């Protein structure tokens, strides 16, 4: 659920938890990732340098410990991160059996606040690194999409999709996988995920559609994998792309697309098959 922002949005908005994503999305993602990795290796194996060709002096000069500037901050940060993951995995059980209202946002925020308190003045540098522009962007985005829902636009879109695939559940699920995949390769998958959350909510109001859960898994996988189509399709791509550029390794769109498009198509095909299997077996 926390692997990509679209999953967080879909999970929070539609009532799915960390363990739900692990159970339903993880097996498909692992298989798709393994096959994609094999493909990338096969097409790039001739350009991969052998370890024998790398000077041993470079290995000797590598000292990961030198990158640690503040060991206390590292330990506190890792403890907070581990606690957040623990809360994300167990928060629904804590709510059910201990009757403590530990929602997903609190599961991450509580360890973060405790960490800032423990670090004291050290936390000032951390707070300065928070991207407040992104937070404002999300606030505005939720307002815009909420307005679309309030004015009935979302319901019209949902009704059109339902009528188009009435009685054709396989077609609807494939469209969610591939439509989300292609869209997230062209536009940022975060606003698209928020819009789709409202659309899926509206679709379930119509009779003769699949369960909400299987549509969520189809949309989630499409959004996450489809972001690999282009360097701007996902935030991870942007970070990797710009970091390589800063280090003098020019990738370029042509080279990216040459490797990423076939790999992404392979992953989406495998994901689509996985969604079909889940639908046929009723495991969703």
What pTM was computed for the model? 0.80
CB-CB contact of 12 with 190 (8 Å): no
What is the reported pLDDT for 26?
A: 95
Q: How confident is the model at residue 252 (pLDDT cuts 50, 70, 90)?
A: confident
Q: Which residue has the higher pLDDT, 24 or 165?
A: 24
What is the crossing angle of helices 153-164 and 189-203, to 10°?
70
Give 51-84 pLDDT, tens digit per residue.
666 677 777 777 888 888 888 899 999 999 999 9
Distance CA 19, CA 15 (A): 12
Distance CA 257, CA 265 (A): 11
Distance CA 235, CA 188 (A): 8
Terminal Cα distance for the chain, rounded: 16
What value does the CA radius of gyration of the chain take, rounded to a whole number of Å? 22
Looking at the predicted structure, is the pLDDT value of residue 15 above 80?
Answer: yes
Nearest to 215 by CA among 198, 200, 194: 200
| CB burial of residue 261 (10 Å; 0-12, 13-18, 19+) | middle
What is the reported pLDDT for 52?
A: 65
Nearest to 103 by CA among 111, 112, 113, 95: 95
Give 254-270 pLDDT, tens digit per residue.
988 998 999 999 999 99
Give 114-134 pLDDT, tens digit per residue.
999 999 888 888 888 787 877
Q: Which two tokens stand for residue 279?
A: 């639908």
CB-CB contact of 96 with 10 (8 Å): no
Give 175-229 pLDDT, tens digit per residue.
999 999 998 888 777 778 888 888 898 888 776 778 899 999 999 999 999 989 9
Across the chain, mean pLDDT equals 87
Half-sphere exposure of 143 (CA within 13 A, CB side): 6
Q: How confident is the model at residue 135 (pLDDT cuts 50, 70, 90)?
A: confident
What length does the chain have?
284
Distance CA 253, CA 130 (A): 29
Q: Is the torsion defined by CA of 196, 202, 208, 212 positive or negative? A: positive
Phi, psi torsion values for 208, nearest 5 degrees: 75, 30
Share of the chain above pLDDT 90, in %: 36
């Amino acid at each position: 659920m926390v692997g990509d922002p679209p999953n967080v949005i879909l999970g929070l908005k539609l009532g799915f938890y960390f363990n739900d994503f692990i159970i339903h999305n993880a097996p498909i993602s692992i298989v798709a990732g393994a096959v994609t990795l094999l493909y990338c290796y096969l097409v790039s194996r001739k350009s991969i340098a052998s370890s024998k060709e790398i000077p041993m002096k470079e290995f000797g000069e590598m000292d990961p410990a030198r990158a640690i500037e503040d060991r206390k901050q590292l330990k506190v940060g890792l403890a907070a991160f581990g606690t957040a993951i623990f809360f994300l995995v167990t928060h629904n059980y804590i709510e059910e059996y201990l009757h403590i209202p530990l929602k997903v946002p609190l599961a991450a925020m509580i360890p973060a606040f405790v960490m800032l308190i423990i670090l004291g003045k050290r936390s000032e540098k951390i707070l300065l690194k928070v991207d407040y522009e992104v937070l404002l962007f999300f606030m505005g985005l939720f307002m815009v999409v909420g307005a679309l829902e309030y004015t009935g636009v979302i319901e019209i879109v949902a009704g059109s999709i339902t009528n188009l695939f009435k009685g054709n559940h396989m077609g609807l699920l494939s469209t969610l996988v591939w439509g989300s995949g292609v869209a997230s390769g062209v536009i940022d998958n975060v606003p698209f995920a928020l819009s789709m959350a409202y659309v899926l909510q509206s679709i379930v109001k119509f009779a003769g559609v699949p369960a909400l859960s299987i549509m969520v898994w189809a949309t989630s996988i499409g959004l996450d994998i489809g972001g690999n189509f282009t360097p701007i399709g996902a935030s991870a791509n942007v970070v990797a792309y710009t970091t390589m550029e800063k280090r003098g390794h020019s990738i370029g769109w042509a080279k990216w697309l040459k490797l990423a498009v076939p790999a992404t198509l392979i992953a989406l095909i495998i994901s689509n098959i996985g969604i079909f299997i889940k639908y046929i077996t009723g495991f969703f």
